[in-house]
Structure 1
Amino acid sequence: MEMEKEHRSSHPRLVLVALPFQGHINPMLQLGSILHSKGFSITVLHTAFNSPIPSNYPEFGFVSIPDNLSEQLISADDLLPFISLLNLNCGVPFQECLAKMVQKQEVENEPSIACIVYDECMYFCDAVAKYVKLPSIVLRTTSASTYLSRNAILQLKAEGVLTSQGSTSQDLVPGLHPLRFKDLPVSKIGTPEIFLQFITNIYKTRTSSAIIWNTNDVLEQPSLQEIQKQCQVGIFPVGPLHEVAPASSSLIKEDNSCITWLEKQKQNTVLYVSLGSVASVDKKELGEMAWGLANSKQPFLWVIRPGSVDDQEWKKLSTEGFVEAVGENGCIVKWAPQKEVLAHGAVGGFWTHCGWNSTLESISKGVPMICKPCFGDQRVNARHVSQVWRIGIQLENMCERGEVERAIKRLMVDKEGKEMRQRAKNLKERIQLDIREGGSSYNYLNKLIELIMSF
């Protein structure tokens, strides 16, 4: 175990444990920044895999614990076995590390640990917290609607209504409007038993004292009210976390040259295209997506993350004249500073996979969306974007260049898109009010701090 940076303070200390993926690390570190600004000392316990960069958060302490993950497992991109093994491997080193921290605070008059805050996927933390007699709080980084839909999967499978591989039915799921059976976040990876066990593991409250949620009442009040009815502990929807604590860092190197390109574009004309830090583009769809973008004649900024597309297919596109056809109308980068891009006046739309972080970031900047969900909770989020908030278009089928071109024009040029942009702007303004004094997120944050101080 390596202690990378230690700080002395009289304020209570919080120990944060994130799942080591970009979409989970960022909300946890944002939460840490918020709580640090309220007077808490922050120590981040992290795995060797995808470890955060301590220099980006000089005010935090960082402690590395061994994860004993094989290169084979890491490169397999099989999330459920990965998370399962992470929970198996990290319990003992985490317990040893906490014991040392507790001992050190007694001997060296270090700030006492008030609480452990852990990502729902790092559920081993609960048993360790209980063992060392420390309170714990869960952070959920998905939407409240995703929680309800995953719980519905357990119920529907128990009743025999849903098969192991989910459903392609367009019928609405009772009690989950506007979700259809085909929108339920059933995993296509691994066995159904592993997935059901995964849901059971991450949604047990166990001995935790509360649940923090990266969402808010403006977006999901009905779902949050339903969850609080079912939940034995208090829930604290304090999001969007990135808006309360704007500073965050990327595990992937950002290419800021795209901002210079954006400066040359007209207001609300650019379609920003990014499928996040994990999702990839199907080999067959890449060409259709590319030519749909080119044929729309709409300026676009396209993030093509290394490993997210088939190299041979991309080379083929280049030889077919795609780059020449686009010319100055397109900008292609390996990774972009997303929050800065979405805040830029030239950006008028976002083609997204609808991961929850990207969805929140787009809503927070008033940018309407083209939704092409890939897996998991993305289908739930996309359905809410298109049907509940009505600030986006969902692409339902395999990408076909004509359909792509039409969707882009609908969002970026047509009256329908202008109406979506106005609704997105209105939603952005409501969220801004919600995180300020008197808003529900603001109030929940104060209540959360009161709870932690009471431990």
Structure 2
Amino acid sequence: MPPSSHIAVLPFPFGSHPVPMLNLVKRIAASAPANVNFSFFCTPESNKTYFSGAKGDEEFANIKAYSVWDGIPRDHVFSGNPQLERIGMFLNATPGNFELAMKEAEEDTGVKISCLLTDAFLWFAADLAEKIGVPWVPYWTSGSCSLSAHLCTDEIRKLATTTGKRVEMIPGLEGLSIDDDMPREVLLDDEQSPLALLLHNVALNLPRATAVVVNSFEELDPAITLDLKPRFKKYLNISPFHLMAAQHSDECLDWLRKQDDASVVYIGFGSVSIPPPNEMVALAEALETCKSPFLWSLRDHARKSLPDGFVDRTSGYGKLVSWAPQMEVLASGKVGVFVSHGGWNSVLESISYGVPLICRPFFGDHGLNSAMVEVQWRAGLRVKDGIFTKNETVKAIKLILSGEKAKEIRENAQLLKGLAINAVKPNGSSARNFQDLLKVLTKS
């Protein structure tokens, strides 16, 4: 059967962004008709990471990867902040790099592109879709709370000049601190930060989209959902579809099964964030003081910051691994608290499995996500002053595992779990929104 639809997928190839985009595409590919093809356009470095085959995905024959230029000149020497420099160069190369690769994909498949499914950060896709006459469907890979904050940037900046310093008039964000909880880019003048300018452009252009897809579920933030729906032609929360993922076997899962229910402290800071050495020491000393069983996902190169003898002294109740199957760990029922950086994927996974959080935010939306965990959902805590210290970390772990507030926090986490499970049931809000998304993407 010849392809009838050719969906161009444009991820933002930095940080944690490509993973939820690729997961979404795989889910769509598994549900879409057989004659729908997907071309995944990303930098060579990212494609090498996420695609094992030379050009496609071994699991899905209808997903093909195409490389786009990353914007970095040959023999370029980085200085200052290499990551920000890479992002700037990549954005300067857009949209021309995508247009060239899209032309290659059309020639390769013999089918014109019929829809643009992009990371919401790639706001220029609004013009690109209009230029070629196809729908634009941006995917906000974080939560609805951060989307609301960026859409309300102008209002928040005005509030920042008042004495209250609190968000009071934005549904779902009431009571949060402007200085401490809002993403840094919301408060910066656009001329001071390329990323702030990018996110402001995202907010300005998203209402042009055929549909805006969000990596969350409606019932998590009902006030935000009600506020955002009228702002867009379609507003579709489609997660947490990881609840339907298959379970796998792993060495650390075998270790987990031997632990008591809701007793383990699980520590994981994602692939980008690592606490500074003094905080690594403080966290390790807190774990040693509490003596609760712990599972710490920590890359080998970061272990040099741990106190001498820590691994040997804690071997009876702790386990360090270089990588952990996080969703399976959280789904095991053995984790009593997840010590996290507050990245959206980790927060969403944790609340989806009813696991309370201790958050130590680093950048981006981490602070806002952490504030939502503590203030709005009351399903966890933030570390005091945003820094691990031994005494405060001991207090936080004990409070969630056995303190007076432990029952309330765990009940709130379990409530969120129930809402998440209902959202992905056949007639749940996310399941219905996903079917709506399929219609938008595959419509002739």
User: TM (normalized to structure 1)?
Assistant: 0.84
Q: In structure 2, which of residues 280, 286, 303 is the aligned counterpart of residue 286 of structure 1?
A: 280
Q: Aligned-residue CA RMSD in angstroms? A: 2.9
Which residue pairs with 2:129 in the alignment? 129
**Distance in structure 2 (CA, Å) of the matches to 1:61 and 1:415:** 53
Give CA-to-partner distance per residue, 1:369-406, whole Å, 9 cap, x none.
11111122111111111122211122132322111111
For residue 27 of structure 1, give the secondary structure of its aligned residue in structure 2. Answer: helix
Report the Cα offset of residue 76 of structure 1: 6.1
Equivalents in 1 of 2:140, 2:52: separation in Å?
23
Distance in structure 2 (CA, Å) of the matches to 1:335 and 1:154: 40
Residue 370 of structure 1 corresponds to 358
Q: How does 1:99-110 map to 2 (within 5 A)?
A: 99-105=103-109, 108=110, 110=111
In terms of mean alpha carbon deviation, does 285-294 or 8-17 score higher? 8-17
Distance 2:285 2:355 in 1: 23
**Structure 1 pair 403/13, CA: closer, same or farther in 2 (3 Å)?**
same
In structure 2, do the counterparts of structure 1 residues 426 and 173 end up closer, same or farther at CA, with 3 Å as the change threshold? Answer: closer
Q: Give me the whole-angstrom Cα distance separating, in 2, the residues matched to 1:75 and 1:174.
A: 41
> Secondary structure in 2 aligned to 1:49?
helix
Q: Deviations over 1:232-281 (max 9, x none)?
A: 4321111124335x379xxxxx9943223223322221110011111120
Aligned-partner SS, 1:21: coil
Give the Cα–Cα distance (whole angstroms) in 1 for the partners of residues 2 and 341 of structure 2.
Answer: 42
Gap change, CA 1:336 and 1:383, over 3 Å in 2 = same
Specify whether residues 116 and 366 from structure 1 end up closer, same or farther in structure 2 by C-alpha distance, changes over 3 A only: same
Task: Give the TM-score taking structure 2 as reference length.
Answer: 0.86
Q: Which residue of 1 aligns with 2:175?
A: 178
Q: Which amino acid aligns with 1:154?
A: D
Q: C-alpha displacement at 1:81, in angstroms?
A: 4.2
Aligned to 2:395: 406
Which of the numbers 65, 68, 71 marks the counterpart of 2:71? 68
- Check 1:428–1:82 CA distance in 2 against 1; reply closer, same or farther (3 A cut): same
> Against the structure 1 CA distance between its residues 348 and 11, is the aligned structure 2 distance closer, same or farther, given a 3 Å change threshold?
farther
* Maintained 8 Å contact 1:255/1:335: no
Residue of structure 1 in register with 2:150 after alignment: 150
Kept in 1, the 8 Å contact 2:297–2:320? The answer is yes
Distance 1:221 1:15 in 2: 31
1:336-351 aligned within 5 A: 336-351=324-339
The correspondence for 1:33, drawn from 26, 50, 53, is 26
Measure the CA separation in 2 of the matches of 1:212 and 1:202. Answer: 13
Q: Hey, what does 2:40 align to over in structure 1?
A: 44
Distance 1:191 1:305 in 2: 36
Measured after TM superposition, the shift of residue 54 of structure 1 is 4.0
AA in 2 matched with 1:358: S
Residue aligning to 2:348:
360
Change (3 A) 1:418 1:74: farther
Distance 2:88 2:15 in 1: 18
Give the conservation status (yes or no) of the 8 Å contact 1:172–1:180.
yes
The AA in structure 2 aligned to 1:346 is K
Residues 338/376 of structure 1: CA separation in 2 closer, same or farther (3 Å cut): same
Separation in 1, partners of 2:242, 2:14: 16
- 3-state SS, counterpart of residue 384 of structure 2: coil
Amino acid in structure 2 at the alignment position of 1:199: L
Distance change (3 Å), C-alpha of 1:322 and 1:306:
closer
Where do residues 200-211 of structure 1 align in structure 2 (5 Å cutoff)? 200-205=200-205, 207-211=208-212
Classify the secondary structure of the residue corresponding to 2:93.
Answer: helix
SS at match of 1:66: coil
Partner of 1:53: 51
Deviations 1:74-102 (A, max 9, x none): 79655544333212224223212222333
Residue 16 of structure 1: which of 2, 6, 9 is its match?
9
| 1:329 is the counterpart of 2:317 | yes
Equivalent AA in structure 2 for residue 418 of structure 1: K
- AA matched with 2:424: I
Q: Which moved more, 1:63-72 or 1:277-286?
A: 63-72
Contact 1:299-1:330 within 8 A present in 2 as well: yes
Counterpart secondary structure, 2:405: helix
Count of matched residue positions in the alignment of Structure 1 and Structure 2: 425
Query: What is the percent sequence identity of the aligned residues?
Result: 25
Q: Deviation per CA, 1:186-216: give whole Å up to 9, x if none.
A: 1499973434312222223265322111111
The yes-or-no answer on 1:267 pairing with 2:261 is yes
Question: Taking structure 1 as reference, are residues 191 and 399 closer, same or farther at Cα in structure 2, changes over 3 Å only?
Answer: farther
Aligned residue in 1 for 2:418: 429
State the distance in 2 between where 1:334 and 1:92 align.
39
How many Å separate the matches in 1 of 2:437 and 2:107? Answer: 27
Task: Name the CA shift for 1:436/1:255 in 2 (closer, same or farther; >3 Å).
Answer: closer
The one-letter code of the counterpart of 1:197 is L
**1:138 to partner: Cα distance:** 0.6
Q: Which stretch shows the higher mean deviation, 169-178 or 57-66? A: 169-178
Deviation at 1:306, TM superposition (A): 5.0
> Which one of 89, 96, 99 corresponds to residue 93 of structure 2?
89
Q: Kindly provide the amino acid, as one letter, of the partner of residue 217 in structure 1.
A: E
- State the alpha-carbon separation in 1 of the partners of residues 388 and 108 from structure 2: 57
Contact 1:88 1:124 in 2 (8 A): no
User: For residues 341 and 126 of structure 1, do their structure 2 counterparts lie closer, same or farther at Cα, with a shift above 3 Å needed?
Assistant: same
Q: 1:76 to 1:412 in 2, by over 3 A?
A: farther
Contact persistence 2:66–2:105 (CA under 8 A)? no
Measure, in 2, the Cα distance between the counterparts of 1:216 and 1:345: 22
Cα shift at 1:223: 0.9
The 5-angstrom pairing of residues 210-225 of structure 1 reads: 210-225=211-226
Cα distance change on mapping 1:391 and 1:93 into 2, 3 Å: same
Looking at structure 2, the residues matched to 247 and 20 of structure 1 have their Cα atoms a distance apart, in angstroms, of 26
Structure 1 distance, partners of 2:349, 2:338, is 10
- Report the Cα distance in structure 2 between the residues aligned to 1:223 and 1:73, rounded to whole angstroms: 44
2:88–2:194: 8 Å Cα contact kept in structure 1?
Answer: no
Contact 1:263 1:346 in 2 (8 A): yes
Distance in structure 2 (CA, Å) of the matches to 1:76 and 1:341? 37
- Answer yes or no: is 1:138 the counterpart of 2:141: no
